[in-house]
Structure formats: C-alpha cells, structure tokens
Amino acid sequence: MSTHRIEVAGEVLELHPERAIHWPARRMLLVADVHFGKGAVFRRAGIAVPSGDTEDDLARLDRLIAEHAPAELVVLGDLVHGAPGSRSEWVDRVQRWRAAHRDVRMVLVAGNHDRHMDASRLGFVVRPDRVVQPPFVFAHHPDDDDRGYVLAGHVHPGIAVRDGWRKHRLPAFVFDARVGMLPAFGTLTGLHDVREEAGRRIVAVTPAGLLPLG
C-alpha cells in the first residue's frame, strides 16, 4: 500500500497505512500503542475476544520491516497491555519474532501500560523517559516539549469521516503545531475522537489507504 509523505519540523516523514511512520533520513520506523497480549488479558478476565491479535500485529510489523529495511524500530509507548500470565504464549511468540529481526535495533519509549512487564524480556531497549532525536522528541504522552517537535502515542486518535449517508470512525495521524500523534498500532485498540481544527493536519487510515483531510 502506498505511503503519504508529509513534512514535519523540516523532515520528510512517510505515513504508512499500517499505522506507522517511516523516517527515511534515519532509516527508522515509528509505531505507537501496540498492546501485545491485550487479547490474552481480556480472555483471562472472561471477556470473549478472538485470538490471533498478536499474530496479526507481528505480520504487519514483518511487512513494514520488509518494505523499509529499517535500522531501528521505535515504539512510542504501550508495547504490552498487561502482565503476562503463567501460560502466555504471546510472550514466546514475540521473542521468536524478535530473534528473527536481530539486525534491527528496537527501542521502547515506555508508556503507562509498560509498567506491567519488563520489555527487555522481549528484546527491546527500554527508555523510561522521552528520547530526543533532533528535531524530534519521542514520547508516549503528547505533551509539548521545548527540546523539539513531539511525536507521541497514548491517545489512539480517530476521526469521523462521512461517505454519503454513512459515517465511519477511522484511526488517524494528527499533526499540530508542536505535537504529532500516531494512531494506535495494535489490532484490538479503540479510538478517541479528535476534531478538525485550523492548522491541524489529519491523515485518516481507511481500508483503501490513507486519506488526508482538511
């Protein structure tokens, strides 16, 4: 699927329909809010959700890595959803996937859910605080930062788009003057509605590809 190029803080970023950003100048992929193990947490709580979410998300990451050949993958918080149980097969599956991409450096900028598990078990370098990578600051929470343009997750932004009489709620990339938010990457994640505003750039993720708005 085709990417959409956008200039942010003087850098060209490629937005991908798989809800990721590719920064070509640094050979870097950025995703947010993967929430590995969320389905398992729900099922342990007696909530009926289909299995296979981890496989789906790993397959999407495989496609992104194959397409862009990144040197580094950065997760902007919430790599995992909750503490793994004693028989959490998803942990072994992610570890095997990580071993298959040992040539890619993988970094987690820790989010609020990541307190439930030490992500170094999954082969990620864990950064407990924001990471400054000029001209950007990589973060989980989308709060302004004097050190650079913030790229963050946490919110799971979505936008309502009308198609004739139908209204669709779609994941979205959102770029304000000093802060940008990535859509949640994880299959089982929900959406938090954002509004179109003056000066705000929004790119919706549709089943057919990316849709710039405004």
How many CA within 13 A on the CB side of residue 133? 21
Q: CB of 46 within 8 A of CB of 2?
A: no
Task: Please give the model's pTM, rounded to 2 decimal places.
Answer: 0.91
Partnered with residue 4 across adjacent β-strands are 15
Distance CA 203, CA 214 (A): 9
What average pLDDT values come out for the chain (214 residues) when binned by 10 residues? Answer: 91 97 98 79 44 82 97 94 63 93 96 79 92 97 98 95 83 98 88 91 94 88
Residue tagged 């929004």 (tokens): 202
Task: Report angle CA 8, 13, 17 to the nearest 5 degrees.
Answer: 125
Peptide bond into 50 cis (omega under 30): no
